[in-house]
Amino acid sequence: MAETGGLFGAEIRDEFQLSKELVHLNHGSFGSVPRSVYEARLERMKELEICPDDWFRYNFVLLVTKGSETVSKLIGSSSSENVVFVENATGGITAALRSLGLKMQSKAGLLVTGLSYEAIRHTAHKVCEIEGHFVLHTINLDPPYKDKFEVVQRYRDYLSSHSDVHVAIVDHITSPSTLLLPVKEIVSVCHEFGVAVIIDGAHAPGQVEINVEDINAEFYTGKSCSFFLYFIVNYVFGLKVISGT
């Protein structure tokens, strides 16, 4: 694979096959993969066509294992066993919610934000409807803020007056408002109130350093359009969701 570490913008332009006739401004909704990734992908597809039986029985499993080891190093997870691939970011959130729902007392509050991605808000709403475990709450995170502590304070104020909230979905980088939220501090406040956190890190990999163990959320789901990787990290421990208090 070509060595491209640390380069951005024009310096890395030739590594992508994007048309030079256009100025591509939206790399969030759909991504183009670097040439080296594109070529590696073609190789894998060729291997599959040459011997599908071998591919699905053996090669695929080995590649997924290797992939989760690579991703876990990138996101600061000490074990690749905490990292799995999911179909997309929405699927990661759904999987997290449904697994938490199994441990949930009925009518537990599920907190999203006014800036949550539309599909995630719909997912949260649908999970509330289908599973019947959750009641949807929305915290107002509209700017302006003086500093990151104001955002954290909004969580403290909200959770102080809504003790039924058991789970919060928090964006790492909001879409399309593009705010970088202080997720580590928000997780810490949520944990003070016994609230489990699912971080929606859809836009974070590749844009900001991620250390999931430092952030300390129960789940972190992220995607990298450029590499078509989706992952979710799960290390649930004794919060309201488990204890049912």
Token pair in block for residue 68: 């989760």
Per CB under 6 A, the segment of 50-58, 100-108, 132-140, 199-207 that binds ligand PLP is 199-207
Q: For residue 80, what are the contacts with CB-CB under 8 A and spacing of at least 6?
A: 65, 68, 69, 71, 72
* Subset of 113-132 contacting ligand PLP (CB under 6 A): 117, 119-120
For position 203 contacting ligand PLP by CB under 6 A, the verdict is yes
Give yes or no for a contact between 34 and 4, defined as CB atoms under 8 angstroms apart.
yes
Task: Tell the smallest beta-carbon distance from residue 189 to ligand PLP (Å).
Answer: 21
Binding of ligand PLP by 89 (CB under 6 A): yes
Q: Is 137 in the site for ligand PLP (CB under 6 A)?
A: no
Phi, psi torsion values for 221, nearest 5 degrees: -115, 135
Shortest reach from residue 74's CB to ligand PLP, in Å: 18
Name which of 119 and 242 has its Cβ closer to ligand PLP.
Answer: 119
Which residues between 145 and 174 bind ligand PLP (CB under 6 A)?
Answer: 171
Q: Does 188 bind ligand PLP (CB under 6 A)?
A: no
Which residue ranges make up the site for ligand PLP (CB under 6 A)? 28-29, 88-90, 117, 119-120, 171, 175, 200, 202-203, 223
